[in-house]
């Protein structure tokens, strides 16, 4: 029986500050088959983050120009199509980008990562202590807009305890590999019986 099959294209979104990076890092450490796609972002690099390894760091103007020139979708196709080689590919991307990926790759698996509650998101934003209350309010409003998109995602992961959240993500990968829509079992069975 052939075991050759596509990998999974995993799309991850969620409000800033809910720990997406931590979860993705832990997931990849425990699963060597997963490749991280390098995504473009308009935020500033954090300490230790390298251009082209963690993200392509773009200014808002550069990013907008990329999208206008259609480079963003091209980029999704280049990175997204890696999963045809049997690798699982993770794409960390905002809600608008996630919807575009879903259109381009209908069998992508969309996970929304969030904190246990909106109050918790606010506390985490305030807890950072790096932003003014006005900035906190703005980020909180954005988080709320993002959360309204949850029904467009396949799964929601509530990042309360990191290990539990990573376990959920691993379970989702394992379950998705058992989906009948990804299975060759029926066609191989027909071959096997010679019918």
Instruction: Give the interface with its own copies as residue ranges (CB under 8 A).
Output: 1, 112, 114, 116-119, 144, 147-148, 150-151, 153-158, 167-168, 170-172, 174-176, 178-181, 183, 185-186, 188-189, 192-193, 195
Alpha-carbon distance of 27 to 60, in angstroms, equals 30
State how far the Cα of 139 lies from the Cα of 120, in Å rounded to an integer.
13
Phi, psi of 55 (to 5 degrees): -150, 160
**Choice between 92 and 168, CB closer to its own copies:** 168
Smallest distance, Å, CB 9 to its own copies? 16
CA 101 – CA 83 distance, rounded (Å): 13
**Rounded least distance, CB 87 to its own copies, Å:** 19
What's the min distance (Å) between Cβ of 147 and its own copies?
A: 5
User: Distance between alpha carbon 135 and the CA centroid of its chain, in Å?
Assistant: 25
> Which residue lies nearer to its own copies by CB, 94 or 170?
170
Compute the least distance from the CB of residue 22 to its own copies, in Å. 18
**DSSP-based three-state secondary structure for 126:** helix
110: Cα separation from own chain's centroid = 7
CB of 82 to its own copies, least distance (A): 23
Rounded to 10 deg, the angle between the 71-80 and 95-104 helix axes is 60
Residue 50 burial by Cβ neighbours in a 10 Å radius (0-12, 13-18, 19+): exposed
Nearer to its own copies, 29 or 188 (CB): 188
**Shorter beta-carbon distance to its own copies: residue 69 or 182:** 182
Residue closer to its own copies, measured from CB, 129 or 151: 151
Whether 55 contacts 39, CB under 8 Å: yes
């Amino acid at each position: 029986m052939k075991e050759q099959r596509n990998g999974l294209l995993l799309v991850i979104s969620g409000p800033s500050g809910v720990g997406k990076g931590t979860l993705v890092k832990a997931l990849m450490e425990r699963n060597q088959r997963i490749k991280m796609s390098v995504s473009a972002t308009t935020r500033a690099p954090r300490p230790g983050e390298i251009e082209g390894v963690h993200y392509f760091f773009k200014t808002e103007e550069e990013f907008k120009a990329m999208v206008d020139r259609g480079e963003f979708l091209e980029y999704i196709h280049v990175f997204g199509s890696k999963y045809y080689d049997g690798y699982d590919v993770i794409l960390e991307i905002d809600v608008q980008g996630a919807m575009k990926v879903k259109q381009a790759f209908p069998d992508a698996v969309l996970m929304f990562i969030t904190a246990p509650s909106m109050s918790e998101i606010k506390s985490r934003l305030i807890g950072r202590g790096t932003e003014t209350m006005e900035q906190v309010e703005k980020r909180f409003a954005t988080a709320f807009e993002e959360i309204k998109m949850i029904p467009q995602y396949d799964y929601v992961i509530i990042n309360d305890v990191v290990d539990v959240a990573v376990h959920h993500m691993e379970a989702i990968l394992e379950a998705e590999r058992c989906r009948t829509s990804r299975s060759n079992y029926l066609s191989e069975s027909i071959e096997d019986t010679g019918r």
